[in-house]
């Protein structure tokens, strides 16, 4: 599970954001904070993986908080969630290492897309990290994992298919360094195997995935799916 700190000076907004996080598989809200001081204290305890950070806080700005975190050696990941839409603030957030910047108001789907791409980044880094040294291909895979707009599926999804679920499966396959089975995709996404299989079959038929078969000693061959670069 990815432990998230939700930071917003508005108690109601913080509660809404926390509920959104709780709806995304693989994430849980570890703490809430309504000031920079409370947020820094939570980060200092060392149990937070990701901070969803508002910029306008009562004691200092969110970016000032990130600067202090970095000065103290805290590399905790940050996604900005704020009404501040000026270019200077966005640029400063980038320079301080914010992984995403989401402007209020936003939808659950918009937040989920950012969280899903963050989870894909962590999985990709874990896979590449096991090799010790990353070549250019692995570096490119790490950077591309943060993309929030994977190649869209073919227009007109079949009945019973949703765009967020389709995007989630696309992101998992895009970040994988080898073909995955429906069982593996289900484990990565939190979906049931039957649901994963249904989406995989559609994406393969739409030309987004490449199907291969892996034969074992007995039984039917296992269907495995790989991302097809646009």
Over 80: is that where the pLDDT of 1 sits? yes
Q: Is 216 helix (H, G, I), strand (E, B) or coil?
A: coil
Per-residue pLDDT at 125: 81
Instruction: Work out the number of other CB atoms within 10 angstroms of the CB of residue 68.
Output: 15
Q: Is 173 exposed, middle or buried (0-12, 13-18, 19+ CB in 10 A)?
A: buried
Over residues 42-46, the mean pLDDT reads 94
d(CA 35, CA 216): 57
Over 60: is that where the pLDDT of 222 sits? yes
d(CA 91, CA 69): 18
Question: From the centroid of its chain, how far is CA 150?
Answer: 12
d(CA 20, CA 23): 5
d(CA 209, CA 176): 12
Least-confidence region, from 56-70, 80-94, 130-144: 130-144
Over 80: is that where the pLDDT of 140 sits? no
Give Cα separations from 174 to 53, 167, 185 (angstroms).
27, 10, 11
Per-residue pLDDT at 152: 47
pTM exceeds 0.85, yes or no = no
d(CA 177, CA 188): 14
- pLDDT, tens only, 78-92: 999 998 888 999 999
Q: Which residue has the tokens 């989870």?
A: 119
Q: Cβ(163)–Cβ(157) under 8 Å?
A: yes
d(CA 185, CA 189): 6
Q: Which residue has the tokens 């301080």?
A: 96
Over 60: is that where the pLDDT of 230 sits? no
Count of residues making up the chain: 230
Over residues 202-207, the mean pLDDT reads 84
The residue among 121, 117, 124 whose CA lies nearest residue 150 is: 117
Structure confidence at residue 61 as a pLDDT band (50, 70, 90): very high
């Amino acid at each position: 599970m990815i432990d998230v700190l939700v930071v917003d000076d508005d108690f109601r907004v913080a509660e809404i954001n926390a509920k959104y996080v709780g709806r995304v598989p693989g994430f849980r809200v570890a703490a809430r904070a309504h000031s920079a001081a409370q947020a820094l204290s939570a980060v200092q305890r060392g149990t937070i993986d990701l901070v969803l950070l508002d910029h306008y806080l009562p004691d200092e700005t969110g970016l000032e908080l990130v600067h202090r975190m970095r000065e103290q050696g805290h590399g905790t990941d940050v996604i900005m969630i704020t009404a501040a839409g000026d270019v200077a603030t966005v640029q400063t957030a980038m320079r301080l290492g914010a992984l995403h910047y989401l402007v209020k108001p936003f939808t659950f789907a918009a937040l989920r897309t950012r969280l899903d791409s963050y989870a894909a980044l962590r999985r990709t880094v874990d896979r590449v990290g096991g090799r010790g040294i990353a070549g250019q291909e692995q570096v490119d895979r790490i950077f591309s994992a943060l993309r929030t707009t994977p190649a869209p599926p073919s227009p007109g999804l079949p009945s019973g298919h949703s765009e967020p679920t389709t995007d989630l499966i696309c992101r998992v396959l895009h970040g994988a360094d080898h073909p995955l089975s429906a069982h593996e995709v289900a484990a990565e996404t939190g979906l049931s195997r039957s649901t994963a299989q249904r989406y995989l079959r559609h994406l393969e038929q739409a030309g987004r995935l490449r199907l291969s078969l892996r034969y074992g000693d007995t039984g039917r061959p296992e269907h495995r799916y790989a991302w097809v670069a646009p």
